[in-house]
Amino acid sequence: MADRSYLDWPFLDESHRDHATRLADWAAVLGPIDHHDTDATCRDLVARLGADGWLEPSAVDPANPKPLDVRTLCLSRETLAQTDGLADFAFAMQGLGTGAISLFGSPEQQAEWLPLTRSGKAISAFALTEPQSGSDVANSTMTAHDDGDAWVLDGEKTWISNGGIADVYTLFARTGEGPGAKGLSAFVVPADTPGLSIAERLDTIAPHPLATLRFDGARLPRSALVGQPGQGFKIAMSVLDVFRTTVAAAGLGFARRALDEALTRVTAREVQGKPLSELQMVQAHVADMALRVDAAALLVYRAAWTKDMGAPRVSREAAMAKLFATDEAQKVIDAAVQLHGGDGVKSGETVERLYREIRALRIYEGASDVQKVIIARATLDAATRDG
Ligand SMILES: Cc1cc2nc3c(=O)[nH]c(=O)nc-3n(C[C@H](O)[C@H](O)[C@H](O)COP(=O)(O)OP(=O)(O)OC[C@H]3O[C@@H](n4cnc5c(N)ncnc54)[C@H](O)[C@@H]3O)c2cc1C
């Protein structure tokens, strides 16, 4: 039986406990998830999550606007990741893909798109990365040219999750109000915009819909701008400030599942006439895994709670949660593979799937190395400030 004691931690309240318990019950009867045709699977998962109301926390409700509840986002991702990476992915992208609209969108933009994405009737995506600028967002080169009555987009975005199946993209492009980070703006781009095409579909070790997008003179109405011209970098970082902690929560969910799989295995499997769990070196693995899971959970829910309590930015807390939870999940899953022996690397085994699914979380929404830079800067700034 999976450990649920963390739900009683003081970071969470009764509504969170209820949400996590009901979602876990829902996910338990989801049935087998096909990882071959990921376009069809993700469309189906978004529709099912939406039909049963699970996407509602992913974006602001325009009819009753309240701040996003980061703890609910994290519990949703943690719970779904324990079931399956694509279930987590389908939920996560509805939030990341509309984060700019939830946080900075006009009432019209919110009314047009958020009821659709919150109900699973439209799929969303977040288009920031370019072929020459992933970590280095400030050097994005794709342009949005002000043509009087329209914005005209030219350039490429790559590694765009849900690229190819999304109905709407939130996109960041250079509008030139200033150099580097000061010259970017955010836009809402419907997928059927003339001049937008899918240049390439990308395959990975744990596939989900991914594409490179090309823009050739794609014209957007002036109302497509999110926030003010030149605010794009700030908008992108504010979105990541919320959703980075949820990546950590997904890593935590994968790690919890790996620990559960390992516990089942080491108590059932016998060597030398006794269960593996009676070997001290196996117990050392179990202790390390349990410690890593709890320490990661503390950082995840500390960051989420801090944001929910009204902190304007939680870059340091979110970076610590993402760095630790995803790096440690990799170690927990590796130990689970080890404890499964040969079965650990057999295609179709749960721990083999987790081993592939965790890897990209240490790269996207800010690579682990970049999180270290953020933590170091915040720590040094605080030391300088405090004398
Ligand atoms: C599966 C997957 C899904 C993705 N989905 C999306 C999406 O939906 N939308 C989107 O916009 N992007 C998405 N991305 C892109 C992702 O955000 C970038 O891959 C990531 O930011 C890294 O950028 P890069 O690949 O250009 O690597 P680079 O920027 O070239 O970095 C390579 C490596 O260099 C090191 N490094 C880079 N900068 C620094 C630094 N400042 N300090 C220390 N070390 C550094 C790190 O080890 C880093 O991993 C996705 C990527 C993957 C793999």
324-357 pLDDT tens trace: 999 999 999 999 999 999 999 999 999 999 999 9
Share of the chain above pLDDT 90, in %: 97
pLDDT at 85 over 80: yes
> Is 40 a pocket residue for ligand 1 (Cβ < 6 Å)?
no
Q: Is the CB of 15 under 6 A from ligand 1?
A: no
Q: How far is the CA of 159 from the centre of ligand 1 (A)?
A: 9
- 328 included as an active-site residue: no
CA of 200 to the centre of ligand 1 (A): 18
Both tokens assigned to 22: 């009901």
In this structure, the residue with its CA closest to atom 38 of ligand 1 is 135
CA atoms within 13 A on the CB side of 357: 31
Q: Residue of the nearest CA to atom 24 in ligand 1?
A: 134
pLDDT at 312: 87
Average pLDDT over residues 79-99: 98
Distance 139 CA to ligand 1 centre (A): 13
How far is residue 172's CA from residue 153's CA, in Å, rounded to a whole number? 10
pLDDT-based confidence at residue 1 (cuts at 50, 70, 90):
low
- Ligand 1 in contact with 296 (CB < 6 A)? no
Beta carbons within 8 Å of 346's beta carbon, 6+ residues apart: 352
Say what the pLDDT of residue 194 is.
98
**Strand boundaries in the chain, DSSP class E:** 124-127, 143-146, 150-161, 168-174, 184-190, 196-201, 210-221, 225-226, 270-271, 274-275
The verdict on the CB of residue 243 being under 6 Å from ligand 1 is no
Q: For residue 124, what are its two tokens? A: 């969303």
Q: Can you tell me which atom of ligand 1 is nearest the CA of 137?
A: 21
User: Does residue 57 register a pLDDT over 70?
Assistant: yes
CA of 135 to the centre of ligand 1 (A): 5
- Contact 364 CB / ligand 1 (< 6 Å): yes
Span 216-267, pLDDT tens digits = 999 999 999 999 999 999 999 999 999 999 999 999 999 999 999 999 999 9
Sign of CA dihedral 248, 54, 84, 40: negative
For residue range 264-314, what is the model confidence (pLDDT) as tens digits?
999 999 999 999 999 999 999 999 999 999 999 999 999 999 999 999 889
Task: Determine the atom of ligand 1 nearest the C-alpha atom of 127.
Answer: 11
**CA–CA–CA angle 118, 121, 124 (5° rounding):** 70
User: Which of 129, 330, 368 for mutating ligand 1's site (highest number of atoms within 8 Å of CB)?
Assistant: 129
- Between the CA of 251 and the centroid of ligand 1 the distance, in Å, is 17
Structure tokens at 307: 């944001």
In the chain, what percentage of residues exceed pLDDT 70? 99
Atom of ligand 1 nearest to the CA of 161: 8
Q: Is the pLDDT of residue 196 over 70?
A: yes
Angstrom distances, CA of residue 238 to CA of 130, 157, 212, 290, 315:
19, 20, 24, 32, 9
Mean pLDDT of the chain: 97
Q: What tokens were used for 39?
A: 């376009």
